[in-house]
Structure 1
Amino acid sequence: MITAYERMITRRYLLPGKGEGFIFLVAGISLVAVALGVAALIAVMSVMNGFRAELFDRILGLNGHAVVQGYGGRLEDWPQVLADAKALPGVTSAVPMIEQPLMGSYGGRVEGVVVRGLRLDDLRANATIASNITGGSLNAMRVGAGTVAIGARLAEQLGVRVGEQISLINPAGQSTPFGTVPRIVAYTVAAVFEVGVYDYDKAFIIMPLEDAQTLMRLDDAVGMIEVVTDDPDQVGRILDPLKQKLAGIAVVNDWQASNSALFSALVVEQTVMFWVLSIIIVVAVFNILSSLIMLVRAKTRDIAILRTMGASRAALMRVFVMVGTSIGAAGVAAGLVLGFGLLQFRQGIVDGVSRLTGTDIWDPSVRYLTLLPAKTDPMEVLGIVLLTLALSLLATLYPAWKAASTDPVTVLRYE
């Protein structure tokens, strides 16, 4: 139980006395270091959580949790496969599609593109695309009307706008005595979308499924079926009956197999960053230790007098423990404010640094995502706070023990 006089002594020791300015400076540096460490951990971990969550949502929003792909890029009896997939417990939707890498051309510019064919109802129901239209409208797309939706980055690279025509070049064209003549078809851009994943925004062209079948010369076949489940982490178990049924007919690839290297790398990087940034807090804790040791040496005479007045060893230990943990707690509070402030203005900070340095420090072509994301995990923040307070408490134990071990007879012998 902490008594009133112990709290009073703690408050007095937190303020600098005569000739104790240097000790106060070291304590202030400790507080700032704790704040910077906590802020850095919160900001970095939140950004990495946001990066993983955003990348996960965007990738799975476009590709689903798994795809059933026919051998040779053709799935002939797809209505039956579609029905079998929808009948599985845990499957929330199954969508037929065609996906093929081709070439896109406009105004003499040529870019590699990925053409995806979807039924119009499925396309308009896809929130990842439908909620990120930056130009035109998906309602303008019609089967047989020669209309497509393209990614915003691709539109920039080609210089094409809504209402203009883009040519798609299919190398698998018509055979002639002089060789294969590529199939070139012009389509009108009806909509432009920006989902926020650079690789998709710079390459994807989406058209009605029937038009894609005509362009790819697939007749009534499709290339794959996209499957979405109610639990992405259990997608393998959910689709296992379908894998067995389609053995030798089609291949079932889930998101874990397709993106395992990417998400595993993110987990490793997040873990490494946490422990590397924790070193800042450890250094700050050593500063608290140093300042308390100097404070104990400066207050040796005061400690001896308190002991002669009846203060117990436990009381003195509590005083110095409270001094150290108060510095740590103040640093944690300042770190929380600074960390959440950095997260609130993260994009403005990134843009400002980019303008000052003249370099794009958040290049979407390297970072995958267009904007810097963030997602704060309350339990993670609580863990950072508890870790910092625990380290601050540990740093106070040795100086507090030294203060409690002071022999008043030896100190006051010549007073």
Structure 2
Amino acid sequence: MIAWRYLRARRAEGGVSVMTWISLIGIALAVFALIATLSVRAGFRAEFVDTILGANAHVTVYSAGDVNGNGQLDRSIPDYTEMAQRIAAVPGVSRAAPLIKGQVMATMNGRNAGVEIFGIAPADLDSIPRIAQPLDSMGDIANFSSGVAIGSGVARELGLVPGDRIKLISPDGVKTAFGTSPRVGTYDVSYIFTAGRYDIDRTRVYMPFTEAQSYFNREGAADEIEVMLDDPEAVDDVVPAILSAAGDNAMAWTWRDASGSFLRALTVEDNVMFIIMSILVLIAAMNIVSGLIMLVKNKGRDIGILRTMGLTEGSILRVFFICGAFTGIIGTLVGLVLGVVFTVYIDPIFAVVNYVSGGGVWDPSVRGLYALPAKLQWHDVLSAVSLSLILSFGVTIFPARRAARMNPVEALRYE
């Protein structure tokens, strides 16, 4: 009751000071920033991993290679059908598909772009989540067997729409008496997809497997086996069985091998950002000390009277602890609401920011993703709220103890 009376008192009556209001606003903003940062980092990581797993092989199986008659290392897989069937039978493997890969130049109406060709069977392409169910698409994936499927970035760069014809030029073509002649092929664009990753949409072109074999001179062979798993997170447990089924000369490259360093960097950055934001919460909580010390000084006479009336040190401590803790609780709740609202409505908020700044705030060519993602995880919210409350309660104890230990004689000497 006494603490609530002090909190409701006007400043002229020796109530809560401006410093307390500043600390309340500071804690609210710090908790908001902590929740927003953790949510954006979690969303970025989830979106990045989803695009990796949704448009790329979880495990790539390739041959260690054999030296052919010309003394060159040949990494092609001649028995790709049998190898793919053996790998597909491994528990935990959802699909195993032979693949042809190569880098070529795509051209259309004087525009050029470097692209990467993925030769894959139509049925296997239809099972790739980010390609078969993309963020956006044009054309029909059912027509893939009679043309090629290209990323939206390639289509935008070359000015293509479904039904246009794209010319692919490979420098590694037919060998003649006058040297190697570039291989040129023209194909109908049957399907345009947006996988959600700028680097995929900007460089990837899918071609029917048999056509890719002919184009890259891989008749009767495949470059690698693309393996998709039921649980991509368990890739390390499945790889030994996959290699055993593939054969002695097989090697594997997982999605973690390809992106593990980036994911580890994200984890380190998450920890660093949490520490930095925690320091901001601590700074905001320290303002409670200033406001509470001023409140104790203003209420010195009241403390002396209460002590002479028989109020114990513990009771005085609880009065001022409640005053400080209440500030931390209110600030934390306000910051919690702001952080959750920001995370839930991040798209319209970011659209307004982008509009006010004139656009170009988020560059997908640099960040890889087309929008700023956010994912609200309750353990992040719980850690932010717990941190704020612990710090707020902790710093409140010191000025509250000072008030409790105040000598009533000294407090009333000049009254």
TM-score of the two chains, using structure 2 as the length reference = 0.93
Q: After alignment, is 156-165 or 122-131 more displaced? A: 122-131
Question: Would you say the 8 A contact 2:55–2:129 is kept in 1?
Answer: no
User: Which of 75, 78, 82 in structure 2 is aligned with 1:76?
Assistant: 78
Residue 374 of structure 1 corresponds to 374
Give CA-to-partner distance per residue, 1:370-395, whole Å, 9 cap, x none. 11111121112101101110000001
Residue 61 of structure 1 corresponds to 54
Q: After alignment, is 256-265 or 91-100 more displaced? A: 91-100
- Partner Cα distance (2:120, 2:393) in 1: 60
- Partner Cα distance (1:91, 1:204) in 2: 24
Instruction: For residue 254 of structure 1, report the CA deviation from its aligned partner.
Output: 1.0
Q: How many residues align?
A: 405
Instruction: Output aligned runs, 1:27-176, within 5 Å.
Output: 27-70=20-63, 71=65, 72-132=74-134, 133-142=136-145, 145=146, 147-176=147-176
Residue 10 of structure 2 corresponds to 17
| Residue identity matched to 1:201 | D
Instruction: Output aligned runs, 1:11-410, within 5 Å.
Output: 11-19=4-12, 23-70=16-63, 71=65, 72-132=74-134, 133-142=136-145, 145=146, 147-243=147-243, 246=246, 249-358=249-358, 360-410=360-410
- Partner Cα distance (2:110, 2:406) in 1: 86
Q: After alignment, is 392-401 or 81-90 more displaced? A: 81-90
Give CA-to-partner distance per residue, 1:301-320, whole Å, 9 cap, x none. 11111112222211121121
Instruction: For residue 243 of structure 1, report the CA deviation from its aligned partner.
Output: 2.9
Query: Helix, strand or coil: the match of 2:381?
Result: helix
- Partner Cα distance (1:366, 1:130) in 2: 25
- Partner Cα distance (1:299, 1:21) in 2: 7
CA separation of 1:37 and 1:342: change in aligned 2, threshold 3 A: same
Residue 5 of structure 1 corresponds to none
C-alpha root-mean-square deviation of aligned residues, in Å?
Answer: 1.9
Query: Helix, strand or coil: the match of 1:93?
Result: strand
Residue 69 of structure 2 corresponds to none
Query: Helix, strand or coil: the match of 1:259?
Result: helix
Instruction: For residue 236 of structure 1, report the CA deviation from its aligned partner.
Output: 2.4
Give CA-to-partner distance per residue, 1:235-274, whole Å, 9 cap, x none. 2232114335656623211112111211111111111111
Identity %: 40
Question: Would you say the 8 A contact 2:87–2:246 is kept in 1?
Answer: no
Q: After alignment, is 132-141 or 377-386 more displaced? A: 132-141
CA separation of 1:21 and 1:82: change in aligned 2, threshold 3 A: farther
Unaligned runs of 5+ in 1: 1-7
- Partner Cα distance (1:99, 1:316) in 2: 76
Instruction: For residue 327 of structure 1, report the CA deviation from its aligned partner.
Output: 0.9
Instruction: For residue 23 of structure 1, report the CA deviation from its aligned partner.
Output: 4.9
Question: Would you say the 8 A contact 1:29–1:287 is kept in 2?
Answer: yes
Question: Would you say the 8 A contact 2:165–2:189 is kept in 1?
Answer: yes
TM-score of the two chains, using structure 1 as the length reference = 0.93
Question: Would you say the 8 A contact 1:51–1:374 is kept in 2?
Answer: yes
- Partner Cα distance (1:20, 1:107) in 2: 80
Query: Helix, strand or coil: the match of 1:264?
Result: helix
Question: Would you say the 8 A contact 2:83–2:245 is kept in 1?
Answer: no
Question: Would you say the 8 A contact 1:88–1:239 is kept in 2?
Answer: no
Residue 70 of structure 2 corresponds to none
- Partner Cα distance (1:264, 1:22) in 2: 50
| Residue identity matched to 2:80 | W
Question: Would you say the 8 A contact 2:354–2:360 is kept in 1?
Answer: yes
| Residue identity matched to 2:389 | L
| Residue identity matched to 1:136 | G
CA separation of 1:183 and 1:21: change in aligned 2, threshold 3 A: farther
- Partner Cα distance (1:22, 1:300) in 2: 12
Q: After alignment, is 231-240 or 99-108 more displaced? A: 231-240
Structure 1: 4+ residue segments shifted above 6 A: none
Unaligned runs of 5+ in 2: 66-73
Query: Helix, strand or coil: the match of 2:12?
Result: coil
Instruction: For residue 366 of structure 1, report the CA deviation from its aligned partner.
Output: 0.6
Query: Helix, strand or coil: the match of 2:126?
Result: helix
